[in-house]
A and B are shown apart, each in its own frame.
Chain A
């Protein structure tokens, strides 16, 4: 089944403790992206990747890092999480950057 898989689905952590949210797609998509969803703000792009080893900042990149060493994986890294990064995170992929996105089921992160 074609899908975007995120792990974990739920995560509670403390300020400053490094964490990684994994994302994997099995559709051989070139383009991958991370979004965060907050009430009243919709979905805002954090980082995106046009292809392997090519990543760039989205609209809200502060406090996040990403890597794209392989085509199928696009992990989101929070080196020192803070409470304002408490949010619902979505990974998405598409065939090309201008194609409709396929989303994962989300990771709900709480930073205390």
Chain B
């Protein structure tokens, strides 16, 4: 099946720092998605990207769809305690959504 490489696997930062994570795939895809999973809950969609080169923001979050259509990154600016959780990238195929391994974000106050 399709494989995604998401990095880093975990991050430990101070409150107020910026965060950056990325995903790469071995194939070209037309849709990249970023989800966040809070502790004890299911993943929730943060940002959807549908066009190569597209840069989309959602509050303090910014995500970009790579120009090669094989990668995407997610940035979080000025992190706050509620940003803690696991972030997943996902690629949308015809019949399923394939996820990266996740980036676990921990914030020290």
Contacts and interface: CB of A to CB of B under 8 A. Distances in A.
Contacts of A4: 42
B1 A104 contact: no
B42 A56 contact: no
Given A59-B1, A103-B44, A105-B40, A42 B102 contact: yes
B95 A97 contact: yes
Of the four ranges (under 10, 10 to 19, 20 to 34, 35 or more), the interface on chain B belongs to: 20 to 34
Contacts of B79: none
Interface in B1-35: 1, 6, 9, 31, 33
* CB-CB nearest 6 A-B residue pairs: A103-B42, A42-B101, A43-B99, A42-B99, A100-B45, A103-B43
Interface of B: 1, 6, 9, 31, 33, 40-45, 48, 88, 92-102
